[in-house]
Structures are given as C-alpha cells and as structure tokens.
Structure 1
Amino acid sequence: MAEWSTLPADLINRIASCFLDTGYLDYYMDYRAVCRGWRSATDDPKANGRDPRFRPRHWAMLDEVFQTDARLFVNTATGRFLRKDLPLLGRGRRYRLVASAPGGDLVLAEASPPHAMRVLNPFTGSVTRFAAALPSEDGVDAHVIGACPTLVLLADSSAMVYFADPDSEAFSVFEESYACNLIRLAVIGGRYAAAGEQGGSVASILLPEAIKTSLSHAVQMTDTCRSNPAFRCFVVESAGEVLLILKLHTKILQIYKMNTQGEGESLEEVKRLAGGRAIFVGVDRCLSINADKFDSIDGNRIYYQECDDGDTSAYIYMYDLESEETAKIGGAINSLNPVFLSFGDTPPFSPIQLFCSYAQQARRFRLAWEKKLQRLPDRLPADLMASISDYLMTDFEDEFND
C-alpha cells in the first residue's frame, strides 16, 4: 500500500476526475478515503460544496418510506443502483425530508419550528444551510439550481412559487396564477443553467418576457391540465430534448417536443424517443431513463400504473409510442410503507415497479398533517405512529379528513 500512497498528485487527480465525469460521487468519496496522500491531492467536496463538479446528476431516490436509514438511488443515465446509508433522515432525527430534487439533491427541513431549510448532497454528505423557513404549503416540489445554489419550491395546490438563496431570511414569492407552471417549464427545461454559470440571479430572470412568449402554448396546456385532475402534464428533459408529456383520461398519452430555438415556438408530436429512452409517468412525477441500461425496460415506451375499474390494486401498463398499443404487464407497488404493505407488495421489486412507484407518488412533508399527528391519541401503537409520521399521511388523507 505504501507504493500506491506515493503516486504522483497529477495521476491521482486524473483518476479522480474519471469518477467525477461519470457522476459517481460515491466512488470519488471512497477513492479519497484510501489514504491521507490521496485526500490531500484531491479537492474536498465538503469544503467546495458549490463546485458544480460535486453536484449530483441523473440520480433519483426510489424508495422513500422505510424502517431503516438506507435509501435506494438509481442513476437514470447509467442504470446503476446504489443503496446509501443516510443517518440524517432516520426516525427521531432533527430533519424531515421535504422533497427529492431532480438530479439527486435532497431538500430537508428541521423537524422543529420554524423548519429552516437545508439541501443535502447524499453522496458527499455536504449540507447547504438556508436561513429561510419552509412555507406553510400542502407539499411542494423542489429544484436546486445554480452554483449558489438557489432553492426553488413549486406549490401545486396554491400555484405559488418560492425561491431563496442560502442567506435569504425568507422565501421570495410569486403569486401570479400562471407563474408556477411557467417557472416549472423553465426550470426543468434548463433555462436557468446559463444564468447560474454567468453569475446572474434567478430572481432577475424568473419571468422574462422571452420565456413567456416562447412557451405560451405549453403554459396554456399545463394550465388546462392543472384545472382537471383527470389530466396530467409534465415537462421533462430527455436525451437533450425538452418534452411535454400529456396523460389524458385513461390510457391516453401524447408526447410533444418543445422547439424554442429562433423566432416563435413549435410543439412537434413525438413517435420515437431519442437516445433509446423510456418514460415513466405518474400522478406526481415524470422520469426519463436510458432504457438501454436496464435489461427489463424497452425503449420508446411509456410506463405508468393505474387501478382498473372496481379494483383497489394498481397494475402497470406499457404504451408503445410507435404502434400506439397499450399492454398490461404486471402488478404495481401499492405502498412502500412497511406497516401498510398489501399482499402483492413484497420485495424484491423490479426496476419497472420501482420507477412507476417513484413517478406515482412523491413523499412530501406537510406541516398541517404534522400538527394533526401531534393531536392523535397516545394509545396508538408506537410503530404505527412512527410509520404514519414517516409517511406523512399521503395514503390516508381522505380517510382522516372524513
């Protein structure tokens, strides 16, 4: 080992760069842990948390409700699965998971009031602290953008958009009725990336006229879907393209490529996904993955889960974009909560089941339900209380409201 520890610093860094280029930050951290010489020759992600090389890319956290501190991640570009131990998210800890952001960042809030926000890089352990407190919303989607970074929260129920930098004392708010969908389009479409690289603030470009003009048709479609719960609309980056994905009624799906280069705009219907991709569509999220990296997943397909009429169990359907045919391919995961697992929810799960479950339901920290949990009677079993608290009442809100 003594000879390996004395490798030239330039060679050590070249090897380390290979891990960073592939986005495998966990390999980079393991590499630095080999010996003191390798650590001193490479940059420390915790000391350089705003360095874009150390930001997670293409990762998604799949199983969000469990009884241990371990979390299952997948890299949607390479097909690699990773189970990562995250003690910060264990029961009884000081943080609650607010949302898992695209790319792999985890957005947290302190469990105790006023619920100050944090962004955790699960692969390096770096934590970015925000002075702003979590808004009182019934669940939010989160995006972490720019090198600063800026935290953007999208509240679906109120259509408000919140954003803050680490030093902001409170979140700034946009309350325009069209803002939430418009900013969602711009954030996911990568329109803030260049501004972040150039040092511009997200606040100064949050609603530029150019974006409002070029994406007007897409905004109109998303507004229509938002007003009708039977319709779902997502914007997702897929193999370098920005896709508008619509799920209308039952088993009716359409995909459009958004062309915003040059003057004007256009939406082009897609019958073949570029780059061998497959799309997973759910109630809460949409995900594009490299199907070539997963043996059980076919490219140019859309996967989703749905309950048949009169059936309480969900099933997975596969839609072929080219032939426009839909096939039922198996049972879905009805719940990942270990206390409320149904008969068919028995691990191990297939990648298709996990991706469909991920898209179907996002775990969200809800302040209102946290307060209701505190008023539940003490006689409820401790394991049931803990599980309900972890799951944030997502599956059982209607029953408790009644």
Structure 2
Amino acid sequence: MAGTSGAQISSRRAANRPRALPDPRRPCPSSNIRSHAQSAGRKRKYSVAIDVDPVRDWANIGDGPAGLIAELALASDVADYVRFRAVCGPWRRCSPDPCAGGLDGRFLPRKWIMLDKALAGPRRHRFLNVSTGECIRMDPPELAEHTLLALTPEGLLLLLVEPTLVVRLLNPLTRQLTDLPPVTALLRPGQHRSRQCGSQIGQTINVTGVGLVADASMVAVNFSDPRGLVVAKPGNESWTIVDKEYMNSVLPFAGRFYCANYRGVMVLTTSLDQQPPRLRLVADRSDSFDFSRMADSLHLVDNGGELMLVHRELSLDGEYARSYDAYRVDLEAGVLAPAKGFNGRAVFMGMCRSISVPAEAGYPSVAADTIYLGHDCDPQIQGYNIADGSRCSLIEAVCPRSIVDCLRCCIQGVGK
C-alpha cells in the first residue's frame, strides 16, 4: 500500500501536473484553435479518427462533423466537452450550451470529485476523475462568494448564500448555478438568534448528504443540524420535510435516493398523484446483523454501479477496535447479502461520504477489497481489508501527499 508521489496523483493516464480546465464563459481566441484542439483530444479514446491537417480551417469544418465530435466528447466526459466548446465560436454554436438552464443530466460531472480545499491555494481547487485518475485544476469564483455546505456524488457543490440563506447547486466544470429554496424555515431557534446577532449561519449548518432524484428534477438534502431529510425542486419556495430521524448515510443511486439507519436501507419514494415524498424500507437490517445505535454506523456505497452497505462496528473482544463488514443490497429480494470483496475495487469511506475507485489499474498504490478510512471514521488505522480482516496501520505523513492521503482527506467532509 505504498503511496505514490504527489506528481503521480493523476495516475499514468494523465499529465503529472493538474491541467487547468478552460472557463466555459471565457472562450479561447480563434488564433489558438489548433493548439487547443490538440490539447482537448490528447490521450482520449474517441471512436472516430480525424486526419489533422495543420493548414485546414478547423473553425469551419461544418456543423455536422463538429456536432459529431461534440457528441463524442460529451459521451466521454463533460470536461472534454467544456474543452471542445472553448476552442472557437463556430464549435460552440454547433453544441448545446451546458449553462442554458436546469440540472441537465448530460452535463453533470459524475466522475469528478473535489479534492483538498487548501493545498493548491485559496482559490485553486483540484478535481479528480475517479474513473481515469486524471486531475485538473479549477478556480471557481463562486466558492469565494458562497459558503460551501457539501459535495454531491454527482460532482456538484452545495452552496449557501449567507444574506438570503438561499441554497444553490454549482456545477464546477460548466459553472452552472441552480437556485433552491432558502433554509430559513428549517433553522433551529438558536440558529435564528445567531443570525440576528450577525453570525455566519453556514458555519453552524451541517449537511451529511445530498443528491439528485427522479432524473435530476428534485434535490434531496440530509441535514444533521438542523436535523431533517428534505427535498425540493428548482423554483420551489420552500423545502418539504420527509423525515427527521437520524440517518447514518444517504446516497443517490440509479436515479433514486437511498438512506440507511438502524432499521436498514430505505428508498425515497415520490408519486405523481401529489402524495408527499416518504421513505420505504427496502432491506431490513435486523435479518442480517446486530446493530448498536450508540457505537455502530452504516455507510452506503455505489461500488461501480452496485449498491453496497458497510457496517462499521465497535468490537469489544479484549480491546476497543473497529471492524467492517460489507453487504450487497439486493433490492429485488429485499435482503443484505454478505460480501468479501468489492469486485476489484477499493472504497474510501468517511462518516458522511464514500467513494469507490478501481484498484491497481487506475490507482497503482490502492489495494482491491480494502476500505481506506477517513480520520473522522477511524483515527487508528489507514485501511481495512474486508476479505481477510487485516488492518493497515497509519504511516508517518510525508510530503508530497499520496493519492491515498488526498482521498482519505477529502471524504471527511467539508471543513473537516
């Protein structure tokens, strides 16, 4: 489990240094078309081959070919699509504007996560593609104008406007901002008093999970302070409270929103007949294992398209130590099936977030079937192999940081 150097954080498929993604609102000059086109296509595996002629007028290749290239770039990655549109005006005119409005699922940066907030500078943030290992640098000015509440599994950032308490979702790659209702009605009396005294409310609000529901038409947010699972659509005037029970973990998966607590795994149900959203139990925990509401916790994981649950348990056999068991969530049978592996993947797990990455091929320093733990989840060990129960002890911090260190840091949540 030896860590890689900081220069290798983006893996063998990407450049050693994170590249800056073009600002989608600030197009490149047409004189740079050739160099930007080459940069946008570097190390990409498109299904069409283009014989690049250095003297050809690439800005005027026609809407048909340019539109096809745009579709292929978007199918590959929204970051490639942003690079494509940044080349010139004719290429932008033949491709839909990702900032045209709404939470369009085509433009969600689902493969991207924001890494550390401080190491790259006050307004320089690194984003990692968990599928390929590519690392890019972004400087979204919106982060300086809002309070960052949480990161979503779709790659979006949940932000708060302090003066109005309006919540927003930011797509960091396209710079699309989506307004959601204010949290004013959800606040505790103490938070209202703090606001009246001029305190920053964003520092007192704690979000433990957020995601999109029903083809990105609805947003679900799980607050631990003020407590409550709430939903809203863009344009709504207020949030709808679904449940006020404590949730160990929440996760958007396959277009639906799942929650886990002492009862087991539940799904958020919505209907077309104006019935309020509610939670429905889909896998009872009591049929599979005992659970201490005081000492244990449950963690939902999207393991490369498979919904899994990790039981974090406090063992009392002679010493206080954590153990971890994994289960596959069988939604058809409604059961939790024990698992001894992650199908060649590894899971980075904090108290509120979990990320699954491909081991070995994409991340040479990451071991398969291993849970790498955030400091908020287990300060004693770095990793736990669920196949044999072996533990990997913490190693002395080194600089530059390894990919394991960076991912263990970023899953701890905002401000941790």
> TM over 0.5, yes or no?
yes
Pick closer, same or farther for the CA change 1:347–1:111 going to 2, 3 Å: farther
| Equivalent residue, structure 1, for 2:405 | 353
Matches of 1:77 and 1:204, distance apart in 2? 38
Corresponding residue for residue 122 of structure 1: 172
The C-alpha deviation readout for 1:318-354, integer Å capped at 9, x for no partner, is 22222221122524xxxxxxxxxxxx4x652111011
Partner of 2:47: none
Residue identity opposite 2:94 in structure 1: A
Q: Decide whether the 8 Å contact of 1:233 with 1:246 is kept in 2.
A: yes
Counterpart-to-counterpart distance in 2, 1:171 and 1:221: 35
User: CA separation in 1, counterparts of 2:390 and 2:216?
Assistant: 46
**CA separation in 2, counterparts of 1:100 and 1:219?**
32
| Counterpart residue number, 1:29 | 82
Alignment of 1:150-161 (within 5 A): 150-156=218-224, 159-161=227-229
Distance 1:286 1:131, change over 3 A: closer
Residue among 243, 251, 262 paired with 2:322: 251
Q: Please tell me whether residue 279 in structure 1 is matched to residue 347 in structure 2.
A: yes
**Is 2:183 the counterpart of 1:133?**
yes
What is the CA–CA distance in structure 2 between the aligned matches of 1:108 and 1:266, rounded to whole Å?
36
Aligned counterpart in structure 2 of residue 319 of structure 1, from 384, 390, 405:
384
Q: Give, in angstroms, the shift of residue 148 of structure 1.
A: 5.3
CA distance in 2, matches of 1:111, 1:81: 31
Counterpart of 2:245 (choices 177, 191, 208) is 177
2:257 and 2:285 mapped to 1: Cα distance? 20
Does the CA-based 8 Å contact 1:246-1:254 persist in structure 2? Answer: yes
The aligned amino acid for 2:112 is W
Task: Give yes or no for contact 2:348–2:374 (8 Å, CA) kept in 1.
Answer: no
**1:219-249 deviation line (CA, Å, top 9, x unaligned):** 9979x45x32x32211111122110101212
Matched, 1:5 2:59: yes
| Residue matched to 2:337 | 268
Provide the aligned C-alpha RMSD in A.
3.2
Q: Which of residues 52, 60, 66 is equivalent to 2:105?
A: 52
Number of aligned residues: 325
Please show how residues 85-96 of structure 1 align to structure 2 within 5 Å: 85-90=139-144, 93=145, 95-96=146-147
Letter in 2 for 1:58: K
Does the residue aligned with 2:395 lie in a helix, a strand or coil? strand
Question: Does the residue aligned with 2:256 lie in a helix, a strand or coil?
Answer: coil
Q: Output the CA distance in 2 between the equivalents of 1:272 and 1:237.
A: 14
Separation of aligned partners in 1, 2:248 and 2:136:
32
3-state SS of 1:354 partner: helix
Q: Match for residue 302 of structure 2? A: 237
Check the 8 A contact 1:302/1:320 in 2, yes or no.
Answer: yes
Q: Is the 8 A contact 1:150 1:202 kept in 2?
A: no
Deviation at 1:157, TM superposition (A): 5.2
Match of 1:40 in 2: 93
SS at match of 1:215: strand
Higher strand residue share = 2
CA offset at residue 54 of structure 1?
Answer: 0.8
Q: Show structure 1 runs of 5+ residues with no match.
A: 194-198, 332-343, 364-390, 395-402
Q: Residue 77 of structure 1 contacts residue 290 of structure 1 at CA under 8 Å; is this kept in 2? A: yes
- More helix, by proportion: 1
SS at match of 1:269: strand
Separation in 1, partners of 2:254, 2:288: 16
2:230 aligned to which of 139, 162, 165: 162
Report the more deviating stretch, 246-255 or 130-139: 130-139
CA distance in 1, matches of 2:161, 2:286: 36
Q: CA deviation at 1:203?
A: 7.7
For 1:219 and 1:61, locate their aligned partners in 2 and report how far apart those are by CA, in whole Å.
Answer: 37
CA distance in 2, matches of 1:202, 1:353: 48
Query: SS of the counterpart of 1:26?
Result: helix
For residues 289 and 236 of structure 2, the distance between their equivalents in structure 1, rounded to whole angstroms, comes to 33
CA distance in 1, matches of 2:244, 2:105: 31
Q: Is the 8 A contact 1:281 1:303 kept in 2?
A: yes
2:153 is matched by which residue type in structure 1? P
How far off is 1:169 after superposition? 1.0
Match of 1:63 in 2: 116
CA distance in 2, matches of 1:202, 1:119: 27
Give identity over the alignment, percent. Answer: 24
Q: Which has the higher contact order (CA 8 A, sep 6+)?
A: 2
**Aligned partner letter, 2:122:** T
How far is 1:64 from its partner?
A: 3.0
CA offset at residue 33 of structure 1?
A: 1.6
**Cross-structure match for 2:70:** 16
Please give the secondary structure, in 1, of the residue aligned with 2:159.
strand
Partners of 1:234 and 1:244 within 8 A in 2:
yes
1:130–1:327 Cα change, 3 Å: closer
Q: Work out whether residues 375 and 409 of structure 2, in 8 Å CA contact, stay in contact via their aligned partners in 1.
A: no
The amino acid of 2:142's aligned partner reads L
Residue segments in structure 2 that go unaligned for 5+ positions in a row: 1-33, 35-55, 188-203, 259-269, 315-320
